[in-house]
Amino acid sequence: MKEIRVAILGAGGWMGSAHAMGYRNQPILFGNEPAVPILHTVVDVDEDVCRDVAARIGAPHSGTDWRTAIADPDVDLVDICLPNNLHYEVARAAIDAGKHVYCEKPLTIDADEALALAQAAEAQGVVTMVGHNFPRNPAHGIARDLIERGEIGWIVHFRTSMHVDFLADPDIPFMWRCDREEAGTGAVGDIATHIFSLVQYLIGDIESLVADMEIVTKSRPMLNAFNYGKQQKVPDDAPRREVTTDDIVTLLCRFAGGGMGTIDVSRVATGQKHAQNYELYGTKGVLRFNYDNVNRIHFYRVGDAPEEQGFKAIDASPEHARYGAFYPVANFSLGYNEFKAIEIRELIEAVAAGKPAWPTFRDGLKIMRIVDACIDSSQSRQWVTVPTD
């Protein structure tokens, strides 16, 4: 049985844990064919955290230097769960070392970096993947199948949003995602890229757009080591730091294959813990999705008899791709970690076969070009064409 030895960089954080769980569960969920992933090395900036993670997941090697992990000849796949500003440097080093690379989104700070990575990976012949796991939800596979079969006809309009509230309170402390130097962007790169990946998966390329971005909370109090999931009281006299990344982005767009879309994203949507939905209108039907019913698609078909017209709920079930690895009955909801496990399965299959699997770094480049176009449009207050290869 072929083994794929993995180094997780940034193993101590939320995403590193999600990735580690995905690798460890592969043999249980899917079996070992065509290859079995081996958690070989974990890297984190905190040495104590790193040793603890290594012990918990059974990785024989740990350390604080990502360069050492990349240089290790036993490592086949480099998994990047680091802050955005490190993605380019680390991924480029891994590609140059001939390693396959799995990088969390957003791929890079901007499209120029993403282009350089895509070209380098293609020249080296290594497998790459960007961590856009929401489209792995089997419900979206149902939607795409209906679209590809022509069930909804020509796509006229795609309306979608993703709202969260982790920075809604102006006194939530400053975190690295609020810093342009570390994060590159805020809502548009951190959250809207999830939507852009769904657009790419369901519809295709965005041809042009006009966007408006805003920093709602101009400064935030400082609290050492603050990040997701922490509820800590900040002293009233705590120093504040300027926020340099966007909190909200709203855009209109047109698709290369025709049709138009409206997208709105916020990280300051009070009361919205995680709200993600879309409506896809075609000439023959409609598709609806709401994350509160995460494994269900609603489908309306124009051709039904008038007395029977209405939205039909289609639940993900063992008959739909990958769902059956988790449950033998329909609508036992899969969630974020399950989508990540499916994504990692497709990654392992791609590495074992030496073939690309969506989204490659070239696909990640397309998404980063949308991000850059949003920034350019918001600054110029004009429609912007999204570059293509």
- 263 dihedral zone (left: phi>0; alpha: psi -120 to 50; beta): beta
Map residue 138 onto helix, strand or coil.
Answer: helix
Q: How far apart are CA 224 and CA 349, in angstroms?
A: 41
Same domain, 142 and 125: no
325 has pLDDT over 90: yes
Same domain, 73 and 97: yes
Point out which residues pair with 219 in neighbouring strands.
242
* Contact between 301 and 285 (Cβ < 8 Å): yes
Looking at 26-30, 229-233, 308-312, which range is the least confident one?
229-233
Same domain, 243 and 223: yes
Same domain, 161 and 40: no
* Contact between 366 and 193 (Cβ < 8 Å): no
Q: What band does 31 get if pLDDT is binned at 50, 70 and 90?
A: confident
In angstroms, the first-to-last Cα distance of the chain is 39
Task: Identify which of 237, 180, 194 has the alpha carbon closest to the alpha carbon of residue 336.
Answer: 194
Q: How far apart are CA 25 and CA 22, in angstroms?
A: 5
**Tally of domains within the chain:** 2
Instruction: Kindly state the tokens that stand for 361.
Output: 């770094």
Given 119, 134, 149, the domain boundary residue is: 134
Task: Identify which of 20, 4, 24, 23 has the alpha carbon closest to the alpha carbon of residue 12.
Answer: 20
Render pLDDT for 93-135 as a digit per residue (tens, 0 to 9): 999 999 999 999 999 999 999 999 999 999 999 999 999 999 9
Map residue 356 onto helix, strand or coil.
Answer: coil
182 has pLDDT over 80: yes
Domain containing 18 — which CATH number?
3.40.50.720
Burial class from Cβ neighbours inside 10 Å (0-12, 13-18, 19+) for residue 154 reads: exposed
* Contact between 37 and 2 (Cβ < 8 Å): no
Q: How far apart are CA 21 and CA 341, in angstroms?
A: 8
Same domain, 248 and 324: yes
Residue 58 lies in a domain: yes
Instruction: Kindly state the tokens that stand for 32.
Output: 């070992």
Cα-to-chain-centroid distance, residue 143: 19
Q: How far apart are CA 215 and CA 213, in angstroms?
A: 7
Residue 342 lies in a domain: no
Map residue 159 onto helix, strand or coil.
Answer: strand
* Contact between 296 and 315 (Cβ < 8 Å): yes
Domain, as residue range, for 53: 3-134
Strands 260-266 and 275-282, by their bridges, are unpaired
- What's residue 321's pLDDT? 81
Average pLDDT along the chain: 95
Residue 177 lies in a domain: yes
Find out whether the peptide bond into 328 is cis, omega within 30 degrees of 0. Answer: no
Q: How far apart are CA 97 and CA 95, in angstroms?
A: 5
Cα-to-chain-centroid distance, residue 252: 21
CA atoms within 13 A on the CB side of 200: 23
Same domain, 109 and 156: no
Output phi, psi for 88, to 5 deg.
Answer: -65, -55
Same domain, 100 and 243: no
pLDDT, mean of residues 178-191: 95
Q: How far apart are CA 205 and CA 97, in angstroms?
A: 32
Q: What band does 32 get if pLDDT is binned at 50, 70 and 90?
A: confident
- What's residue 389's pLDDT? 73
pLDDT, mean of residues 143-152: 97
Domain containing 172 — which CATH number?
3.30.360.10
Burial 187-200 (b: 16+ CB within 10 A, else e): bbbbbbbbbbbbbb
177 has pLDDT over 90: yes
Render pLDDT for 48-92 as a digit per residue (tens, 0 to 9): 999 999 999 999 999 999 999 999 999 999 999 999 999 999 999
Residue 352 lies in a domain: no
Helices and strands (DSSP H and E) totals, the chain? 11, 17
Burial class from Cβ neighbours inside 10 Å (0-12, 13-18, 19+) for residue 215 reads: middle
Render pLDDT for 229-257 as a digit per residue (tens, 0 to 9): 666 678 888 899 999 999 999 999 999 99
Cα 110–Cα 344–Cα 109 angle in degrees, nearest 5: 10
